Amino acid sequence: MLTVTPAAIEDIKILIPRSFADARGIFTETYNRQRFREHGIDQDFVQDNQSLSRDTGTVRGLHFQSHPAAQDKLVRVLRGSILDVAVDLRRSSPTYGKWISETLSAENGKQLLVPVGFAHGFCTLEPNTYVLYKVTNFYSAEHDLGLAWDDPDLAIDWPVSTTSAVLSDKDRRQPFFKKLPVHFE
């Protein structure tokens, strides 16, 4: 059993796989191609990525890959929790420049399907948070791009201040939305 609902931006999907609990613990089928197809989700995932963020307030993103290496992402949390964010970069979309956020945790089991054409990032809400995401294209350094996580024009409601966020040097140097060339029509 799999529950799929659209997010505030309909092309982004919130997935909740069914879990089965007994005296031993919990079993969850997190991905099943047949079940996903039954819900109109037919991505061909080719790579899994996993991150550990040690500190609460760690921000990773906002990242995306441009064509021809653009990626759909299926994001879930193995341990801890995150505020997951996706920003619409599709110029012809009615939600261009808009963003959604969803709290994903090991406890709630939610997954977020972020399609091609969105920048994606997250902020950890707990220490020692593990995030796993499947992608539909291999990593390409040449096509690896980003967007400033704290862009005032986007006004994303992050649960961390700009002074206390833990960031990579790369994420500190990402361009603002207005300066970003069009990568997705």
Residues annotated as catalytic (active site), given as ranges: 63, 133
Q: Evaluate the CA torsion angle 51, 120, 40, 138 in order and state its sign.
A: negative
> Is 157:99 a contact under the CB 8 Å cutoff?
no
Query: Could you tell me what percentage of the chain is helix, strand and coil, using 3-state DSSP and rounding each to the nearest 5?
Result: 10, 45, 50
C-alpha span between 13 and 86 (Å, rounded):
11
Distance CA 64, CA 87 (A): 10
